[in-house]
Structure 1
Amino acid sequence: MANLLLSLTDALCKGARPQDREYSLRDTRQPGLALRIQPCGSRSWVMRYRINGKLVRHLLGTFPETGVKAVRQIAAALRAQEAEAPPPPSIAPLFESFQAEHERRYAASYKPEGLRTYRSYVRCELLPAFSGKRIDAITRQDVVQWFERYSARKPGGANRALGILSQILRCAKTWGYLPETWRNPVTDIRMNRRRQVGTFLSERQMVELGAVLNSRMAQGCKASAALHLLSLTGCRVSEVLLLEWGDVLPDRLRLRDSKTGPRDVPLGVPVRQFLKAYRKSVPRLAKVPDASVFPLPGQPYNAIRSVWLRVRKEANLPDTLRIHDLRHSFASHAIMAGETLFSTSRLLGHSKIQTTARYAHLADTALLDCAETVGRLILAQVASPPRGSPTSLRRKAPDDAESCGGELGRPGTGPSQFSAAL
């Protein structure tokens, strides 16, 4: 909206509506005086005039704290040089006002689930803690006290809410509501240490789970088929439940939307065989491209979770095991099978390889094998003297081989093999 030239009144200033961009209402009775209205709804008085040809600009307070009549008197005294300029007041918006703008301009790009999470933390935690404060008046002490109280109840939730608060305040500075010298009070506040809750199924547990799922799939349980696909691909629950037959390609699953955006999931031979067999069991009319691959009654997630609880009990799995742990199991078994973190990260659709590293648990047997391999390689290096030394010339190769445990003394075992093993 263009700047408007009006005879300002309190009622007119109060009724002015925020727009997508900042605009001003200029007063006809006091030249140079204007009410600046920001997108978040904050209203502040600005006075511009010239002294000896030099442009001077003063901030005269906010509306409605300073009314039209009072601000005209201040502006007139300034122009007549009958009074000194008042100290610049804070024109930063209230936290609740700016948060509404942040949700409209920034959080609107979130996915529906992310937007619900954002609104929940704002409504339940941030607004009760910081409403009524101007964003430039929120101090580090305010944030620390709130964060410690919340951490005592829910450490993970406190971390998430702190991240949202930091993002809101960063946007306030980026969008010009705060000076360049302002420092974000959230900076350097240490988040709570995350408790690793993920686990993975052992080979025996995977066999028992597979037997129960196969038995249920033979009875036509679609939720069990979805769980089986989760264990074979490492996909997220939402990714599988949103699958349509048009997304199932000969060699991959085309995910139209996921946590990290659209992506393709390559399918190995076992997964292709499973999907081919499952597709044969589905009626022809239910296999059109826009039909759901796993049509579940009611709320799909509640339906698959209900089946998971029964499957978990039948397979004698721990009561703490979650559906998402099937994804953890996929990552862990991939690492134990010799796949790299990079390859496993691509299969899981992680945007950061550090996320995959958190999921890559190793079974005790795999760690034992690794320790034994490294130990034997080190023993081979220690037991083999440098080439050309008197000790190596006196020893015979067969004796060396026997003293090192047989195969460790064979040719080809050297620093390059040791580095590769590590």
Structure 2
Amino acid sequence: MPAVTITRSSVQKLPPLPKGTAKHRVFDNKLVGFIAEQRRSTVTFYFRYKDARGRQHEVRLGRLGDVTVDQARKRAEQLKAEVSLGGDPVAEKAKLKAVPTVEEFARERYLPHVHERQRSAQNVDGYLRLRILPAIGKKALDEVTQADVAEMRRKFQAEGLANGTVNRHLATLRAMFNQALKWGLYEGKNPGSSPGMLRETHRDRYLSPAETQGLFRALAADPDETAASVLMLLVVTGARRGEALKAKWENVDFDRCILTVPRSKSGRTRHVPLSPMAMAILQRQFAKRAIHQDNQYVFPSARRSGKPVEGVRGAWIRAKKAAGLPEDLRVHDLRHSFASALANVGTPLNEIGTVLGHTQLSTTQRYAHHSPQRLIDTATTALRAWNLLPEAKNAEAVEVDAVQEDARDAA
């Protein structure tokens, strides 16, 4: 393996390869590691180096014609400097090649992970399959930029998606990239960390005390006692519909007045506190258990052995009509009404969040405006600390004022 200075002239003067020889290598005598490899039809340039562990690697610089001799030498010099500073060009290239595309990661790792841990996995699957993957699925994880996310958001809006729906897509994207970073699948930032969430207008529909009482009367008279009992339990606990429908007797603790939800919406176990009214509803269901001895569900199906009741739609429609409630009132509004009632009597937001099973205080914050007097009292605390409140009259002054007022009335 001869060592010469690799130049355009020396490469052009390379003798033909001997018969039976596939290749011939020339090593540069000035730049250690710079190689010209001669084959029958072309010359290819390489750079050879050793990594920090002493392992030998080669980087292909290009073929003569695609690159010039000077370009190849300049690139070899750059790589040599990189290696001298602790770099490993081959390892870096391998690392880049190992980064999966968004679609590969989503289908092979992220979705299986979500299906194991989240009850909302079907929603995540839909967000990815229908819109996110068609938009950025072919890009490697480290190729997706904030501009890509912004463009995707604009596209979703142009399709007419509601702001809330767009935000669910963006939240899914953010969570997916966070998981990829956690697993060390690429280096960089999460392009969806600040996706530009759109303003959502929450639908605020809460039952008044009179409406709640009317609904209870209508449910008590409904022919479908099981479905009506489910709805009653939702009214008095603020539980989610699925949590009630899937409740099993093993989850009910009559002594501690607790209904345990093994896997809530967040994927965690949560405990629903049971008021006396909720306990009465469950005890009434328990009294009927002899009829469905083979059914473990609190609200058993009358048609399918061992299964929970199919749903509450019929009873809900009938009860709304009988109670004179709006047609667009949703079953989920019962949960909002329960939270609103708690807020109206001054229950702290953190306690409301605990009862409802919220994992973030921001979710409960929407009910803050339902307790204005409590917030006013809190704001007044600062004035009291600064002695800016008007001084209350002492008891004697109040009594004198009362006597004088009585005298004026008598006159």
With normalisation by structure 2, the TM-score equals: 0.66
One-letter identity of the residue aligned with 1:233: T
- Distance, in Å, in 1 between the alignment partners of 2:52 and 2:377 is 86
Which position in structure 1 is the counterpart of 2:279?
A: 272
Distance change >3 Å, CA 339–CA 287, structure 1 → 2: farther
* 1:256 shift after superposition: 2.5
Distance change >3 Å, CA 335–CA 294, structure 1 → 2: farther
- The answer to whether 1:263 aligns with 2:270 is yes
One-letter identity of the residue aligned with 1:333: A
**Paired residue secondary structure (2:271):** strand
Which position in structure 1 is the counterpart of 2:244?
A: 240
Distance change >3 Å, CA 341–CA 401, structure 1 → 2: farther
Match runs of 1:156-195 below 5 Å: 156-179=164-187, 182-195=188-201
Which position in structure 1 is the counterpart of 2:219?
A: 213
Q: 1:297–1:303: 8 Å Cα contact kept in structure 2?
A: no
- The answer to whether 1:107 aligns with 2:107 is no
One-letter identity of the residue aligned with 2:200: R
- Distance, in Å, in 1 between the alignment partners of 2:53 and 2:391 is 90
**Paired residue secondary structure (1:172):** helix
Distance change >3 Å, CA 192–CA 56, structure 1 → 2: farther
- Distance, in Å, in 2 between the alignment partners of 1:104 and 1:367 is 43
Identity over the aligned pairs, expressed in percent?
27
**Paired residue secondary structure (1:264):** strand
* 1:255 shift after superposition: 2.4
Distance change >3 Å, CA 115–CA 52, structure 1 → 2: closer
- Distance, in Å, in 2 between the alignment partners of 1:189 and 1:133 is 18
Distance change >3 Å, CA 119–CA 58, structure 1 → 2: farther
Match runs of 1:304-343 below 5 Å: 304-343=312-351
**Paired residue secondary structure (1:382):** coil
Which position in structure 2 is the counterpart of 1:398?
A: 399
One-letter identity of the residue aligned with 2:241: V
**Paired residue secondary structure (1:265):** strand
- Distance, in Å, in 1 between the alignment partners of 2:317 and 2:293 is 28
- Superposition RMSD on alpha carbons, in Å? 4.3
Distance change >3 Å, CA 403–CA 124, structure 1 → 2: farther
* 1:347 shift after superposition: 1.9
Q: 1:237–1:324: 8 Å Cα contact kept in structure 2?
A: yes
Unaligned runs of 5+ in 1: 1-46, 62-69, 405-422
**Paired residue secondary structure (2:191):** coil
Question: Residue 295 of structure 1: which of 286, 301, 317 is its match?
Answer: 301
Q: 1:246–1:289: 8 Å Cα contact kept in structure 2?
A: no
Unaligned runs of 5+ in 2: 1-46, 80-88, 406-411
* 1:334 shift after superposition: 1.7
- Distance, in Å, in 1 between the alignment partners of 2:204 and 2:392 is 43
One-letter identity of the residue aligned with 2:141: I
Distance change >3 Å, CA 114–CA 382, structure 1 → 2: same
* 1:348 shift after superposition: 1.7
* 1:369 shift after superposition: 10
Which position in structure 1 is the counterpart of 2:142?
A: 136
Give 1 or 2 for the bigger CA radius of gyration.
Answer: 2
One-letter identity of the residue aligned with 2:50: R
Match runs of 1:5-154 below 5 Å: 50=50, 55=55, 84=76, 90-91=96-97, 92-103=99-110, 106-111=113-118, 113-152=119-158, 153-154=160-161
One-letter identity of the residue aligned with 1:212: A
